[in-house]
A and B are shown apart, each in its own frame.
Chain A
């Protein structure tokens, strides 16, 4: 089951009803701050979570909904194929009075919720709090971050984060006449035992739940050439039963086969992020895989990674999670454009851009722009008679097509700086390889239409038929390459 469409009404940043066409594809979203990309993350997360837990949609209503329209907050998600595996669509609506995902016999959304496969940059914030002047302790990053929602046989129906909270709550209880120390000791020991059993199992190398079993192959794909070992020292109360000791997960490291004595000096933000993400993704992979509706949502988690780590991560999610529907958001426009280029070659991906549009009353509304390729955009502008815009997009499409072709074929003379390259360099590198008719058409309409229409020139008004031919020429060029 893949998501076809998401409709959000008055949910968080989305005032009014907004439709997001996903088309059953993986989605890569660029969004500036405040544009609603995290609202989309939480909308989908809440949608799945609401199938099992009560979520008060009124609490999540957009703050600017007029009084007369309040109480209509809704998330509607349409899937195809439906839960029967038939090639039909099925919509599930979650609003203040109704939740289709709770329908008795249809467990698909409730099963999907089990994966807890929604990772936000907030789960990785623990990386920034690590003290670099002492031994690295990943406990907080794991227990309150990437493994917070992890559940399995030994967590006894609770999430790992809840088990840790139980430990913290019992140790913090004050003793007195009504709650005596013997009772506190017994409760603290019981809570700690459950936590140690559940969390400790993840560090046993012969256990099917071994934390590095699935994380290591993923980490290897980041090409850091590092091998890690993790150790958990087991929780224990202090002598007075007022604090918990042992909340420590230490890292032992080998780089290029050599033991690193001071891992804290070696592990920079990117490497730590790669380790944390590998552990998280590894834990998703260890999960049961027979769930019909598998979503993996990574919200802004590329923040802590440089380009040399971002591309491997993109490849990892594609290769390791082929049957998942992947959602990735980023606020980094150059990265988005860069990644889009590589994803566009793969028909499984779709890109969207989110912007915060200013409204006349001083508020902002999310604006979702479907990102077709530049030629399609040129045609859209052509259809709406905006010929100048159509020409600009067609010219950009021409530049992109020849640049990408040259880069792919390494068919260009070397220049030390990227800005030294001109469109002519790329064109000259490929023009002789083209069929003469294609080459002639491109050269004719490039000068006659694309370059000319892109400027303000009263002597040369935009001509509809010339523009039609120009766009057709760029299309033929694209096909021939």
Chain B
């Protein structure tokens, strides 16, 4: 397929690509087909609301401190959020804490209640040249979000679905789609709403189990195991985005994955690691169909197109 740098769109195509803001995507002719296929899916905005972090760090300086105490709760900033985990130290800046009672006294809106629940949190500002612009993970309750983050409240979604969403958000495919519409370093809520969200029961247990593995493994360090599970998530999300293309190329992963044993919060670290190691050993076998399909996934033209676009 000849790849042309210039590309033309009809009005209806633009409406289909970005249903809310009608942003013209920056794509080449090969990517247009991939974008058209992905755009047929429902969007995150159909299922969830994404909000900017509730604490404006500039205008609320009087209720923010750098010292933790009994009358404060931590504020998560964008620099403190990474894919799959909240690192112990932020990439820049210092830790901040909120005099939360004072904050709650003056704020009664919907967002002021979100800290009571778990959330999906993501960086609100990321470098335009970064391969992954969306970096999300789970956030416990009783933590506040600075305005340099975005979040999705888990008031109305269960943990498995939240993990499923995190897996999709952190995937190679979602990040490619996001980058096609983003023109600056902000990760805006409306851009998250516009991301395709393959919905349905397909892949939820598997993706959520893998997201759980990765959040646990990142507490240790990046390894071959975590890298492979991440690759597996990318593969599964491609399968949800482009089911027909994957099927016709016989590169399905989901039907061959088997039951991924979930890790539970009450398990010891050793138990969790042992489960993950067993699943890794099983799926990393050079003869296992999952690994074979995963490692040859860019033989599928639409995936090759996306991966090439991400490396540019």
Contact = CB atoms under 8 A, between A and B. Distances in A.
Q: Do A and B bind each other?
A: yes
A102 B286 contact: no
B248 interface: yes
Given A114-B295, A208-B284, A288-B295, A153 B300 contact: no
B298 interface: yes
B224 A107 contact: no
Contacts of A107: 249-251, 296, 299-300
A102 B296 contact: no
B292 A290 contact: yes
Given A105-B248, A208-B284, A52 B291 contact: no
A208 B277 CA distance: 12
Interface in B252-296: 281, 284, 286-287, 289, 291-292, 295-296
A104 B249 contact: yes
A343 interface: no
A207 interface: yes
A256 B225 CA distance: 36
B304 interface: yes
Contacts of A105: 248-249
Nearest to A207: B224
Main secondary structure of the interface of B (DSSP, over half): helix
A384 B296 CA distance: 51
What interface size band does chain B fall in?
A: 20 to 34
Contacts of A291: 292, 296
Interface residues of A, number: 24
A201 B249 contact: no
A286 interface: yes
Contacts of B251: 107
Nearest to B226: A153
Nearest to A54: B3
A209 B250 CA distance: 26
B291 A102 contact: no
Contacts of B289: 290
A72 to B, nearest CB: 19
A289 B286 contact: yes
A431 interface: no
A154 B296 CA distance: 16
A307 B292 CA distance: 37
A176 B156 CA distance: 52
Given A52-B304, A157-B307, A208 B224 contact: yes
Interface string B67-95: 00000000000000000000000000000
Given A102-B301, A104-B248, A105-B249, A114 B296 contact: yes
B30 to A, nearest CB: 12
B218 to A, nearest CB: 14
A90 interface: no
Nearest to A51: B299
Nearest to B225: A153
B1 interface: yes
B106 to A, nearest CB: 40
A287 interface: yes
A110 interface: yes
Contact of A290 (B287, B304, B307): B287
B221 to A, nearest CB: 10
A104 B30 CA distance: 13
Given A153-B227, A288-B296, 5 more contacts: A107-B250, A110-B298, A153-B231, A288-B287, A288-B292
A-B complex: 3 closest residue pairs judged by Cβ atoms: A110-B299, A290-B292, A107-B299
16 contacts: A52-B299, A52-B304, A102-B301, A104-B245, A104-B248, A104-B301, A107-B250, A110-B298, A153-B228, A197-B222, A201-B224, A208-B284, A287-B286, A289-B286, A289-B287, A291-B292
Interface of A: 51-52, 102, 104-105, 107, 110-111, 114, 153-154, 156-157, 197, 201, 207-209, 286-291
Interface of B: 1, 222, 224, 227-228, 231, 245, 248-251, 281, 284, 286-287, 289, 291-292, 295-296, 298-301, 304, 307, 311
